[in-house]
């Protein structure tokens, strides 16, 4: 009698019947007695999910190639060897509203509550490069973030905060160069050494064209402004992540998880290509490229997304772009729970959604995390709701036990299968985008707008038609719950306008004019703009003045209207 040997692949017990036989015998019998529920057995991205995963689903799985060890290529299991056993993720809550004084006060409260980094939300006029007293700013000043129109506002915003000790993330894109220069100028005036100042600038203009739509200039010069920071940043502020390539907004605009993953990495690749075209050395800039992903409801798909992202990026950087420094291969990421998943009905239920999403981010190995407050489908978070959101992270970190071991779900038949599938679908999207001439070509062709528009429409119809249930929205509905909301004081506008008028009155007018002239010259000649932005920041040029110079040189962009 022949000895029993494991079958090819060797991963499953030879005494066990094949999965196909189990499905046709046992599972079929069970569902004949009790039929499957009428539910969509697929991920939010539409990837079909089987009733069961076994070793057969990962047959041929090469642990070394697909996973490796944490802290080593391809970083599927995390970018640091000791991950959360050494250092928990950074708990970084996005905050900003009203005046610089009010946001500064919130920053101090968040730091006192145990938060470990800051994250600044700017108001829409700032995001669009208008001063607070511009006509287009009416009604918007201080509403969904803090207004920063000059170095004077930046100095108030970070009063009492040491930029060498606290890292700050700034969600700013079109005017990112100017705002970064204001932050660094503020740090310099406090006597800080820029080599020790850390933080993250979002500065991801491509996803603005794809999803969030806060662009000012056309795509080509906008990307060149980003590449100016790739060139200048490592020389001057080497601890600063000068870009945070963002899928968050792509997902909020209604994309699937696969689209979020694919479009974000395609954007990152586009920046790398552009930086190489400028003659930069990949290992000089790549270690400071950071990422920002959404964490949505589909628990396993989200975990798979983070793991696949790290693996795809590592392979692209090493094998396609020839990066030699392992730090260039690492995808370091921030994550935020999905604002779009929050509902205004029964808003307290959002606490549960956020906790599950945050847990997925942690099991996905995120390096930093923002948890949304439960009242964000109604208004800006209150101090209490923002604190509860931070406490949710602290419970995961200190009570749940998931931080005891690294990447605890590795080897799960289902999760590894799903991680591989997301990688496959992402690579297929890369081909479609390249066929359109890369990301800029795909933007012009309306590819992203159509892809995201169709996906968001499908998701909405699934909810409207009750193919997918959302608690409190199309199932288990109940009377409205009243919760207190955060109000923004209308006096903000007056405070902000006064400070702006004072800046214009008291600054050295000739120094301001000279800085703007230098900015114009550099923009026109295609020379790195960052030194001129630093000069303009120190000269108290306003954000609107600086952006007006660039509007004149580059023109403004209007997207084609598509439904």
Partner 1 sequence: MTGAAGGPQLDRPIRVLIAKPGLDGHDRGAKVIARALRDAGMEVIYTGLRQTAEMIVNAAVQEDVDAVGLSVLSGAHMHYFREVAAALAARDAADVLLFGGGIVPDQDLPALAELGVGRIFTPGANTNDVVDYVREAVARIRGAGAD
Residues lying near partner 1 in the complex (CB under 8 A) are found at 124-125, 127-128, 130, 136-140, 143-144, 208, 212-214, 252-254, 340, 342-345, 376-380, 453, 456-457, 460-461, 463-464, 470, 472-474, 480, 482, 485, 488, 558-559, 561, 563
- Residue 517's nearest CA partner among 500, 541, 486, 538 is 541
Query: Helix, strand or coil for residue 8?
Result: coil
Phi, psi values for residue 546, rounded to 5°: -70, -40
- Ordered DSSP codes for 381-404: PPHHHHHHHHHHHHHHHHTS-TTS
CB of 135 to partner 1, least distance (A): 9
Q: Are 254 and 210 in contact (CB under 8 A)?
A: no
CB of 344 to partner 1, least distance (A): 4
- Report the C-alpha gap between 369 and 88 in whole angstroms: 10
CB of 556 to partner 1, least distance (A): 10
Q: Select 121 or 275, whichever has its Cβ closest to partner 1.
A: 121
CB of 82 to partner 1, least distance (A): 39
Strands laid side by side in the 117-121 sheet: 240-241, 199-201, 168-171, 117-121, 90-95, 368-370, 332-337, 289-295, 243-246
- Distances in Å between the alpha carbon of 348 and those of 23, 274, 375, 429, 472? 40, 45, 8, 37, 10
Range 182-189, long-range pairs (CB < 8 A, 24+ positions): 182/148, 182/150, 182/151, 182/154, 182/537, 182/543, 183/154, 183/158, 184/236, 184/237, 184/534, 184/537, 185/151, 185/154, 185/534, 185/537, 185/538, 186/151, 186/154, 186/155, 186/158, 187/163, 188/538, 189/155
Which single residue is written with the structure tokens 């730091």? 111
CB of 450 to partner 1, least distance (A): 11
Q: Select 197 or 226, whichever has its Cβ closest to partner 1.
A: 226
- Residue 352's nearest CA partner among 367, 366, 371 is 371
- Report the C-alpha gap between 26 and 51 in whole angstroms: 12
The tokens for 500 are 């702006």
CB of 109 to partner 1, least distance (A): 21
Q: Select 145 or 364, whichever has its Cβ closest to partner 1.
A: 145
Q: Select 468 or 522, whichever has its Cβ closest to partner 1.
A: 468
CB of 174 to partner 1, least distance (A): 11
CB of 149 to partner 1, least distance (A): 14
Q: Select 41 or 457, whichever has its Cβ closest to partner 1.
A: 457
Q: Select 475 or 513, whichever has its Cβ closest to partner 1.
A: 475
Q: Select 340 or 534, whichever has its Cβ closest to partner 1.
A: 340
CB of 130 to partner 1, least distance (A): 8
Q: Select 124 or 532, whichever has its Cβ closest to partner 1.
A: 124
Q: Select 331 or 455, whichever has its Cβ closest to partner 1.
A: 455
Dihedral (CA of 190, 193, 194, 200) sign: negative
The tokens for 65 are 């190639």
CB of 253 to partner 1, least distance (A): 5
Q: Is 552 left (phi over 0), alpha (psi -120 to 50) or beta?
A: alpha
Determine if the peptide bond prior to 323 is cis (ω within 30°): no
Q: Select 127 or 323, whichever has its Cβ closest to partner 1.
A: 127
Q: Select 100 or 269, whichever has its Cβ closest to partner 1.
A: 100
Q: Select 169 or 486, whichever has its Cβ closest to partner 1.
A: 486
- Can you point out the beta strands (E) in 211-349? 240-241, 243-246, 289-295, 332-337
- Report the C-alpha gap between 499 and 503 in whole angstroms: 6
- Report the C-alpha gap between 6 and 15 in whole angstroms: 9
Q: Select 253 or 541, whichever has its Cβ closest to partner 1.
A: 253
- Ordered DSSP codes for 55-87: GGGGTT--HHHHT--TTSTT-TT-SSSSHHHH-
Q: Select 67 or 137, whichever has its Cβ closest to partner 1.
A: 137
CB of 487 to partner 1, least distance (A): 8
- Report the C-alpha gap between 227 and 15 in whole angstroms: 59
- Burial call 449-459: b when 16+ CB within 10 Å, e when fewer: bebbbebbeeb
β-strand partners of 401: none
CB of 378 to partner 1, least distance (A): 5
CB of 248 to partner 1, least distance (A): 12
β-strand partners of 293: 335
CB of 122 to partner 1, least distance (A): 11
């Amino acid at each position: 009698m022949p000895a029993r040997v494991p079958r090819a692949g060797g991963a499953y017990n030879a005494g066990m019947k094949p999965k196909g036989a189990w499905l046709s015998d046992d599972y079929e019998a069970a569902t004949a007695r009790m039929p499957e529920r009428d539910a969509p057995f697929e991920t939010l991205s539409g990837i079909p999910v089987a009733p069961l995963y076994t070793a057969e689903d990962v047959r041929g799985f090469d642990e070394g190639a697909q996973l490796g060890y944490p802290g080593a290529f391809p970083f599927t299991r995390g970018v640091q060897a000791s991950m959360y056993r050494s250092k928990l993720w950074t708990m970084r809550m996005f905050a900003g509203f009203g005046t610089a004084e009010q946001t500064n006060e919130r920053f101090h409260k968040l730091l006192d509550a145990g938060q470990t980094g800051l994250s600044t939300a700017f108001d829409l006029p700032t995001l669009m490069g208008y001063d607070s007293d511009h006509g287009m700013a009416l009604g918007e000043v201080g509403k969904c973030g803090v207004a920063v129109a000059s170095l004077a506002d930046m100095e108030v915003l970070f009063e009492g905060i040491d930029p060498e000790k606290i890292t700050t993330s700034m969600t700013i894109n079109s005017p990112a160069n100017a705002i970064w220069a204001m932050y660094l100028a503020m740090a310099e005036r406090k006597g800080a050494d820029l080599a020790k100042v850390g933080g993250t600038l979002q500065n991801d203009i491509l996803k603005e064209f794809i999803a969030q739509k806060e662009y000012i200039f056309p795509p080509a010069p906008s990307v060149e402004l980003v590449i100016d920071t790739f060139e200048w940043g490592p020389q001057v502020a080497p601890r600063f992540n000068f870009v945070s390539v963002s899928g968050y907004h792509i997902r909020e605009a209604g994309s699937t998880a696969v689209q979020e993953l694919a479009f974000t990495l395609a954007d990152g690749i586009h920046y790398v290509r552009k930086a190489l075209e400028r003659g930069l050395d990949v290992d000089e800039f790549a270690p400071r490229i950071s990422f920002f992903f959404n964490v949505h409801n589909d628990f396993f798909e989200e975990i798979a997304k983070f793991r696949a992202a790290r693996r795809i990026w590592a392979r692209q950087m090493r094998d396609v772009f020839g990066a030699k420094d392992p730090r260039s291969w690492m995808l370091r990421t921030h994550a935020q729970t999905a604002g779009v998943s929050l509902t205004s009905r029964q808003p307290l239920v959002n606490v549960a959604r956020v906790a599950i999403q945050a847990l997925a981010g942690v099991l996905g190995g995120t390096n930093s995390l923002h948890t949304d407050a439960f009242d964000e489908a109604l208004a800006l978070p209150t101090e209490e709701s923002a604190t509860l959101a931070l406490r949710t992270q602290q419970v995961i970190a200190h009570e749940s036990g998931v931080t005891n071991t690294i990447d605890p779900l590795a080897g799960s038949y289902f999760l590894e299968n799903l991680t591989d599938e997301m990688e496959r679908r992402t690579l297929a999207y890369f081909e479609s985008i390249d066929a359109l001439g890369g990301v800029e070509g795909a933007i012009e062709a309306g590819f992203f707008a159509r892809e995201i528009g169709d996906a968001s429409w499908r998701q909405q119809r699934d909810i409207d038609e009750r193919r997918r249930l959302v608690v409190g929205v199309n199932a288990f509905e109940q009377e409205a719950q009243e919760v207190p909301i955060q109000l923004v004081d209308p006096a903000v506008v007056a405070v902000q306008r006064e400070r702006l008028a004072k800046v214009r009155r008291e600054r050295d007018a000739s120094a301001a004019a000279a800085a703007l002239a230098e900015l114009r010259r550099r923009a026109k000649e295609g020379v790195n703009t960052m030194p001129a932005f630093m000069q303009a920041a120190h000269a108290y040029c306003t954000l609107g003045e600086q952006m007006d110079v660039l509007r004149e040189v580059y023109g403004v962009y209007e997207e084609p209207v598509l439904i």
